[in-house]
Amino acid sequence: MIGAHRKIYVLLGNPVGHSLSPLMHATAFREMGVHALYIPFCADNAEEAVRDIQTLGIEGASVTLPFKTSIMPHLDEVDESARRIGAVNTIVRRQGRLVGYNTDWIGLVRSLGGSTDIRDSRFAILGAGGAGRAAVFGILQEGGMPLVVNRTPEKGRALAREFGCRFHPFPDMATLKADGLIQTTPVGMWPDTEATPAAREHLGRFKLVMDIIYNPLRTRLLREAAEAGCAVVDGLEMFVRQGAEQIRLWTGREPPVGLMRKVVWDRLKKAENEDRADKES
């Protein structure tokens, strides 16, 4: 069995083919001298996947779509933050028990905190899915004030009510007041890169705009926000920081964040250049 020699970590999702997590984590483990494999695990069913992780002796997992919520009842324990967010993106084997955590919110506040003070600042969170929930939770944890903006009012209102913050429907984007905008919907993600969830003329009021999308690195939203004079934060930093936190949970050691950022950035740039060359040819 491979596990007798090396610890095995997996990326659990469906699909898993395009993720940059295997590259990032394998690079980190190599640099740290951790004798481990990190491999994609494409599953059909959350319950079966947890059983496989248990019986194969897998040490830990990153969890991605569509299993972040459906996996929760099958784990032995779920940490308090992940329970409040309602999503697990990390599994750690602890004394034979599989424990679920959420590092997305930590990635988000670390990347945002590099550019602005979260405490006492107001952030409009665009979107009320899993990433939106992690953003609301993270902002509250750091002493900031989130407000939720969502296309479907019922969903946005429910999230706002649960966390005791305000809700605004989409048309309010034209008037609402906040220090920052955090975009958590899939709008603008490759290949639909000309889509944007917020009109250019509404961006200048924010000091900072963050997009959690990292492919492309510079979404249309961020391009227009920068043109409007806002500070911008792209999704790469959040992706790297949530991954770094996973390594910390799995190994108890400090991850090589700079190297992790570099390999992911290089790969994204390479893909962008190839895409541009394809379009030009």
Segment near ligand ATR (CB under 6 A); pick from 7-15, 43-51, 130-138, 251-259: 130-138
What residues does 145 pair with on adjacent strands? 122
Q: Is 188 in the site for ligand ATR (CB under 6 A)?
A: no
**Cα(237)–Cα(187) distance, integer angstroms:** 19
Give the interface size with ligand ATR as a residue count (CB under 6 A): 15
Site string for ligand ATR, 199-228 (x = CB under 6 A): ------------------------------
User: Which one of 6, 83, 122, 155 is in contact with ligand ATR (CB under 6 A)?
Assistant: 155
User: Which one of 6, 83, 122, 151 is in contact with ligand ATR (CB under 6 A)?
Assistant: 151
Q: For residue 211, give the nearest of 144, 137, 132, 106 by alpha carbon.
A: 132
Residues forming the active site: 68
User: Which one of 72, 98, 118, 131 is in contact with ligand ATR (CB under 6 A)?
Assistant: 131
User: Which one of 22, 60, 100, 132 is in contact with ligand ATR (CB under 6 A)?
Assistant: 132
Q: At 13, which helix (H) or strand (E)?
A: strand 7-13
What residues does 38 pair with on adjacent strands? 9
Phi, psi of 232 (to 5 degrees): -125, 145
User: Which one of 62, 89, 90, 185 is in contact with ligand ATR (CB under 6 A)?
Assistant: 185
Segment near ligand ATR (CB under 6 A); pick from 37-45, 46-54, 105-113, 180-188: 180-188
Q: Whose Cβ is closer to ligand ATR: residue 187's or residue 221's?
A: 187
Q: Whose Cβ is closer to ligand ATR: residue 132's or residue 256's?
A: 132
Give me the numbers of helices (H) and strands (E) for the chain, helices first please: 9, 12
Q: Whose Cβ is closer to ligand ATR: residue 150's or residue 219's?
A: 150
Nearest distance, CB of residue 275 and ligand ATR, angstroms: 22
Residues 6+ away with beta carbon under 8 Å from 135? 105, 108, 123, 125, 146, 182, 184, 212
Q: What is the DSSP string of 41-93?
A: EE-S-HHHHHHHHHHTT--EEEE-TT-TTTTGGGSSEE-HHHHHHT---EEEE
- Tell me the HSE value of 143 on the side-chain side, using a 13 A CA sphere: 6
Point out which residues bind ligand ATR (CB under 6 A): 127-132, 150-152, 155, 184-187, 197
